[in-house]
Structure 1
């Protein structure tokens, strides 16, 4: 069973779609982000800083709850990724 991922902001143009189903290798949020980058390489600049770490302003939720990368992500979970937003 895959994970339903919804992306917002500039990630939509990087993926070409708002929602996708991913099948990450591993049951963590980190595995989902890794799979998103693998399937949609253009997302990398929106998600990662120059050191390869997740940008501090990127927010990820699972089933509506804000999570950290090492938190579990159950099969069938609903993941939302909010990239850094510019402007003000």
Structure 2
């Protein structure tokens, strides 16, 4: 299955582009994020803390916030937004 994934923030440096096409067997949002990391290994440090997806990562499907256990339909698009890291003043 092909899914269009738009990434923001530092994830763009991992994927090389704002929007990428993810080739994966299908499944849940969690499966899609794992497939993205398989395709773009540099994305892992922005998305995961150990084996768990960082709580600060926001995922939307077709513009709506989605749960990690939701299934991704064949025609859906995903957006991943890692936490914006603040600086010091």
Query: Does TM-score exceed 0.5, indicating one fold?
Result: yes
User: In structure 1, how many angstroms separate the alpha carbons of the residues matched to 2:8 and 2:26?
Assistant: 23
Runs of 4+ with deviation above 3 angstroms: none
SS at match of 1:80: strand
Quote the offset at 1:72 in angstroms: 1.1
RMSD: 1.2
What does residue range 39-54 of structure 1 map to in structure 2 within 5 Å?
A: 39-50=39-50, 52-54=51-53
| Paired residues, number | 87
- Point out the structure with max Rg over C-alpha: 2
Deviation per residue, 1:26-77 (Å, 9 max, x gap) = 3211111011000000000000013x10000000000011112110111121
Structure 2 match to 1:30: 30
Gaps of 5+ in 1: none
Partners in 1 of 2:37 and 2:61 — Cα distance? Answer: 17
**More displaced stretch, 62-71 vs 23-32:** 23-32
Is 1:12 equivalent to 2:12 in the alignment?
yes
**CA distance in structure 2 between the aligned counterparts of 1:76 and 1:23, rounded to whole angstroms:** 13
